[in-house]
Structure 1
Amino acid sequence: MNPKPALALILMAVTSTAAFAGEGMWTPDNLPKAQVQAKYGFTPDAKWAERVQKSALRLAGGCSGSFVSPNGLVLTNHHCVNSCVQQLSSAEKDYIKSGFLAKDEKDEIKCPEIELNRLDQIVDVTERIRKATAGKSGEDYSKAEKAIKSEIEKECVGKDSADTRCDVVDLYRGGVYDLYKYHRFQDVRLAFAPELEIAFFGGDPDNFNFPRYDLDMGLLRAYENGKPVKVKEYFPFSKNGAEDGEMTVIVGNPGGTDRQLTIAQLDFARDDELIPYLMLLAERRGLLEQFRSQGAENWRVAQSDLFGTENSFKALRGRLQALQDPAVFELKRKQEKELRDFVDADPARKQKYGAAWDEIAKAVALHRNIEDRYNYIEYGRGFYSRYFEYARTLVRGAAERGKPNAERLREFSDSRLPSVTQRLFSTAPVYPDYEKVKLGWSLAKLREALGTDDAFVRQVLGKESPEALAKRLVDGSRLNDPAVRKALWEGGADAIAKSDDPFIALARQVDGDGRAIRTRYENEIESVIDKNSELIAEARFAKYGTSVYPDATFTQRFSFGEVKGWDEKGEAVKPFTTIGGAFEHATGSYPFALPQSWLDAKGRLDLGQRYNFVTTNDIIGGNSGSPVINKNAEVVGLVFDGNIHSLGGDYWYDERLNRAVSVHSGAILEALRKVYGADALVKEIESARR
């Protein structure tokens, strides 16, 4: 279902000057106002943009959301709150299967690990960072860049780290550095989540496809000082929801795109990153499927991990297919050649920027030599376990917090510690038998990747099998108890040094190897790529100015498009499905089985109500949970997916085929009212007018 378009059509659809169509993930401070006005007759002025910016939210774990009432009610996807729902569930009370509804605010339950970020301010700090890194390279560049970023973030947070988060963001691959200041909400409570059967109706077979029939939505509420937060900016629901041909704006936090990578980097992504990782994910999926098949409780325990693995596999396979398409690669070569020809045409430009592409290619070649060690040791692919994650955080946290803020590993800087401790002290359950299976498998993959005679592998495994080591570690550890983790964190370096917990011992044992390969990566690869990407960005600015948008960076972006279907191999795909279509699509067997609540409510439902729909908005992973709004900043839908063609959107955008898939706002209200009897939530949403 992913035909390879001819090169001529691709070149017509996309140009290196980013001619405005639906393409573009634009920062709030650089919206394409003239182009939007010309195409849609609407100008997104500064007042409108600020209101939208502060109504939208980021879920720090990797999704988007938005305030939809002045009382802190937050709309996002079910798959974005799925981990919370699972963490709040038990064998006796499984909210994944039954769904969850808080009849009143007092019934809302705190999610152990969800943090919401509201973007309040953007400040350009490019010159300050350039000044700190000027004339430096390699290790000196890496240290200077990290130090100045940590310094800027600490100044921004001040003494309010509990409520403020500050991140220095690299835009245009280092062409611009902006400081993003967020209001942080860590008391986030679950208000509503439907059953998984309807939230992910169609399962993996329907994932990244259309037509769809999913109620992939959930409702959270942000609290401060034990009370629902009062917010000034929020999105009211539209009375009618999305209409055919209507202009739509998606505002969210796309996780990352690679549209400005060099050819050397794209070669590396295709051959050295995507293919090996897809093979690993395929094996992991088999492992989790086998575990899940062993009983109802195993099914519940592994559900969230399996969903994430299947979703990642399908998304990354789509990226690989895009990079394996000769026409797409030819387009990327054409774009790079156009910019390099521009640089070479002027002696001054050539002297300043001309070597940048070759320097990046050298760094990429070095990356190939250390990639397995970096991924399995430092990145943690060889230690697939929450126990080890906790242990490494405790061991490194004890070492890093004793250093000046500017000298720490970036994840332990002052501005990021609240997020670290939220996850570390989480009350989410940890399941020992499940952890043994995951860890034993990943240790076997570590041995396979690095070799049985590798010194690091021998150091970790000794004479034990991966499975035996995993069992010994898990059986002997107390890190599944949040009180134990908190005591170790507060005890600092002394407590860590004295701990006899086997996972703490393992994390201490491997920490030197992890730090060594990380240091090599940062000093010899990352710093070279960062420095030379800055130069390429400067050259791109010289040619195109700010008419181009930066690659996505899991920061807030605006995407402009319209409700519109597409042509699939000569067949017209209509932009809407209906609730009635869900009943026609159902087979009664998972994953096409409707929950009993929907079967019981069929006679009450408006079967002609628009359910899911597609738009031309340019999105990528991380946009999940983004509101779809109209020009009046009213919710007309909720993004939960893209179609199969959008998977190549990491590298390029094709308005003919790429589509965002959303839940219609009318369907959300219809289901809340007639299936779930969530009258209080419906009243709150419908009364939230401006």
Structure 2
Amino acid sequence: MKPSRFATLLASGAASALFAVPPVHADEGMWTFDNFPAAKVNAEYGTDINQAWLDHVRGAAVRLSVGCSASTVSDYGLVLTNNHCVVGCAQNLSSSDDDYYTHGYTANGLSEERKCPGMNGEILMSISDVTNRVTAAGAGKSGSDLVKARNAVTSRIEEENCGDDPKWRCQVVNLYHGGQYKLYKYRRYSDVRLVFSPGVQTAFFGGDPDNFNFPRYDLDSAFVRLYENGKPVATPDHLVWNPAPPKAGEPVFVAGNPGGTDRQLTVSQLETQRDLTLPITALQLSELRGRLIRFSEESAEHKRIAQDLLFGLQNSYKVYFGRLFALKDESFMAKKQAEQTALRQKVAALGPKLPKDFGTPWQTIDTAQSSVKAMYLPYRFVEGGPMGSELFGYARELVRAAAEREKPSADRLPGYADADLPRLQKSLFDEVPVHADLEEVTLEFWLSKAREYLTADSPETKLLLGKESPESLAARLATSKLGDPAVRKALYDGGMAAIKASDDPMIQYALRIDPEARKLRSAWEEQVSGPLTTASEKIAKARFLALGDSIYPDATFTLRLSYGKIAGWTYRGTEVPPFTHFAGLYERATGHEPYKLDPRWIAAKDKLDLSTIFDISTTNDIIGGNSGSPLINAKGEAIGTVFDGNIHSLGGNYGYDAKLNRTVAVSAAAINEALRKVYGADAIADELTGKHKPS
């Protein structure tokens, strides 16, 4: 469940605050590692989770910069994740002659492990509380002034603790929507190399029809390796690999980085999502998907270069459609209204314990929704930019980096402080293929939709198009030379003088629209994010007065731990068992896409143990971003990797249903069997069991 590359705009359209206090059901929660309910879990499941166990799992968990989770599983930096988390890497390493996205990749030794452009791996080393310092910085401020003050203090905290050393990353994390601010310090690895991918045909067997469904027959697993100074990183605290068949009912844990949840929104915020942001997002994803399908049908090469972006669009569309379906459920919305009413009553009962300036934060949030509705479309198209355009992304980063680096570090926009520059430079300087034909499609779509939604007479449309048509402007911008990392590096090193002197059409375009994009950003901070920050912090403090921190915070793409058990579910009288097996894969195969088997699996059928458990259903509470998270048993061993949820889990953005929400993982047993008997990757399988040192 990789977080959508388009999720940021949706989230910004309905920024969350802590309002609802539903009861926490069994197995519910994406808990921080410094507030995990170990005593409750041990009592319920008979486990022995202690601080040493938590420290070990935390030290093995990896956050990947592609929006996924992972874990170290050998002494030599070998990392387990999902195939769909490395398909971007496989696509970038591919050519018309070698399509690793489709057919996969197996490295025969360290010399064949290939660097994934733009990918970082991060391991969380420590968590510390910086709440008082962050909240003090915003005291007495509101609107954009509050946002700027908070940005400045978080930048200073991050730089004081990590500096500009590329081996470290510090991140001040907003938890409980202002109730707490924690400093997360990560060990960062910028050299991540592809070791094994089974290819999309096997990892995504069943395609879109089976996506977010169960039973599943997907080997959605992959391995990368962390390197430093040209050598594999030593990772002695890795998870022990356990390929033994898992058992129904056994307790399991998921350590990963859920991308974001909106379980604590007000009813008015949910209505904004339901009536504005979700329909627009889903519709545009659907439309762009159609254009890319048409583009893919034009030639084999078009199909190859569009397949990764198309996969992301299809997955995101299904996610947002599922969320919209949940918010249109009247009983669900009535439940949310009841939860909000209950919390307001609890807060009102605090009386004199509340701060004197508590005011009416719920009304503040409701008022801010009017600003969201008025500003969302201009903000989305101008500040948000096009979906899927690498060239525009590079140009925006270069133009803003040039402007921001002329300011003191603490005064810069988020993402441009000195501590952030190593990551920014890696994303700009790594070599990633850019395809002009595909760029033209995404740019034309963005520009045409801007004119359609904003109207031809709006100042934003005139800013974006000038006197040109979407078609002619997209064609011109797609001739940009920013696909060349050497060009990007020269512009970055040259600063604003080089940016202004550049004749690159995309650089000049980004430079022209950036002043208005910044104005929209500032207005958004003044009228939306600033007021929401103030109001959410007031309610968070009131919540702590009433309940403490006995409830987990919304997800923030930072490390969390969920607990549960291996279990199926019953829906409309039909019982869904928790396991699938290799035999079912062959029964499901039809010979036609998306149920067409990789020839290697056809050839290996007689060698395989068809009773091998393939995919697993569990009660763990997850969301997008948990993709690649290890599925861990009570001993702290890796028994699989999470890659999806069932169809009922799509509403998990707003709440957890213990009866229906399920996590889906591929078993270590299946991965082990496939490595040895399908892919001939015995060296990887032996490394997992400690019998082989890579060379």
Q: Which category describes the TM-score, using the shorter chain as reference length?
A: over 0.9
Distance in 2 separating the partners of 1:523 and 1:448: 27
Matched, 1:589 2:589: no
* CA-CA distance at 1:461 after TM superposition: 2.0
| CA deviation vs aligned residue, 1:450-480 (integer Å, no higher than 9, x gap) | 11112232233233211111112223x2111
| CA deviation vs aligned residue, 1:426-454 (integer Å, no higher than 9, x gap) | 21111111111111121111111211112
Unaligned runs of 5+ in 2: 1-19
Q: Letter of the aligned partner of 2:647 in structure 1?
A: I
Q: Percent identity between the aligned chains?
A: 49
* CA-CA distance at 1:346 after TM superposition: 3.8
* CA-CA distance at 1:546 after TM superposition: 1.6
Alignment of 1:123-522 (within 5 A): 123-160=128-165, 162-349=166-353, 352-353=357-358, 355-381=360-386, 384-475=388-479, 477-522=480-525
Distance in 2 separating the partners of 1:352 and 1:495: 49
Distance in 1 separating the partners of 2:683 and 2:622: 32
Matched, 1:62 2:67: yes
Q: Is the 8 A contact 2:245 2:612 kept in 1?
A: no
* CA-CA distance at 1:226 after TM superposition: 0.2
Distance in 2 separating the partners of 1:346 and 1:680: 62
Partner of 2:83: 78
Distance in 1 separating the partners of 2:336 and 2:67: 28
Q: Is the 8 A contact 1:17 1:544 kept in 2?
A: no
Partner of 2:659: 656
* CA-CA distance at 1:65 after TM superposition: 0.2
Q: Secondary structure at the match of 2:382?
A: helix
Q: Letter of the aligned partner of 1:408 in structure 2?
A: R
Q: Letter of the aligned partner of 2:557 in structure 1?
A: F
Distance in 2 separating the partners of 1:533 and 1:386: 35
Partner of 1:111: 116
Q: Is the 8 A contact 2:675 2:682 kept in 1?
A: yes
1:516–1:688: structure 2 CA closer, same or farther, 3 Å change rule? farther
Q: Is the 8 A contact 1:61 1:114 kept in 2?
A: yes
Q: Is the 8 A contact 1:340 1:354 kept in 2?
A: no
* Aligned residue pair count: 672
Q: Is the 8 A contact 1:98 1:194 kept in 2?
A: yes
* CA-CA distance at 1:19 after TM superposition: 3.3
Q: Secondary structure at the match of 1:368?
A: helix
Partner of 2:11: none
Larger deviation, residues 433-442 vs 352-361: 352-361
1:430–1:228: structure 2 CA closer, same or farther, 3 Å change rule? same
1:608–1:271: structure 2 CA closer, same or farther, 3 Å change rule? same
* CA-CA distance at 1:352 after TM superposition: 4.7
* CA-CA distance at 1:159 after TM superposition: 4.4
Q: Letter of the aligned partner of 2:136 in structure 1?
A: K
* Aligned counterpart for 2:648 among listed residues 640, 645, 654: 645
Q: Using structure 1 for the length normalisation, give the TM-score.
A: 0.96
Distance in 1 separating the partners of 2:191 and 2:612: 35
Distance in 2 separating the partners of 1:407 and 1:32: 39
Q: Is the 8 A contact 1:173 1:260 kept in 2?
A: no
* CA-CA distance at 1:139 after TM superposition: 2.5
1:331–1:43: structure 2 CA closer, same or farther, 3 Å change rule? farther
Distance in 1 separating the partners of 2:624 and 2:514: 31
Unaligned runs of 5+ in 1: 1-14
Distance in 2 separating the partners of 1:43 and 1:414: 43
* CA-CA distance at 1:239 after TM superposition: 4.3
Distance in 1 separating the partners of 2:461 and 2:22: 49
* CA-CA distance at 1:345 after TM superposition: 2.4
Q: Letter of the aligned partner of 1:47 in structure 2?
A: A
Partner of 2:13: none
Q: Secondary structure at the match of 2:238?
A: coil
Q: Secondary structure at the match of 1:619?
A: coil
Partner of 1:8: none
Distance in 1 separating the partners of 2:648 and 2:589: 25
Q: Using structure 2 for the length normalisation, give the TM-score.
A: 0.95
Q: Is the 8 A contact 1:242 1:665 kept in 2?
A: no
| CA deviation vs aligned residue, 1:499-545 (integer Å, no higher than 9, x gap) | 11111110110001100000011122101101111111112212221
Distance in 2 separating the partners of 1:218 and 1:17: 37
* CA-CA distance at 1:648 after TM superposition: 0.4
**Cα RMSD for the two superposed structures:** 1.4
| CA deviation vs aligned residue, 1:256-292 (integer Å, no higher than 9, x gap) | 0011111121111111110111111110110111111
Distance in 1 separating the partners of 2:475 and 2:89: 27
* TM superposition outliers: structure 1 runs of 4+ over 4 Å: 349-352
Partner of 1:23: 28
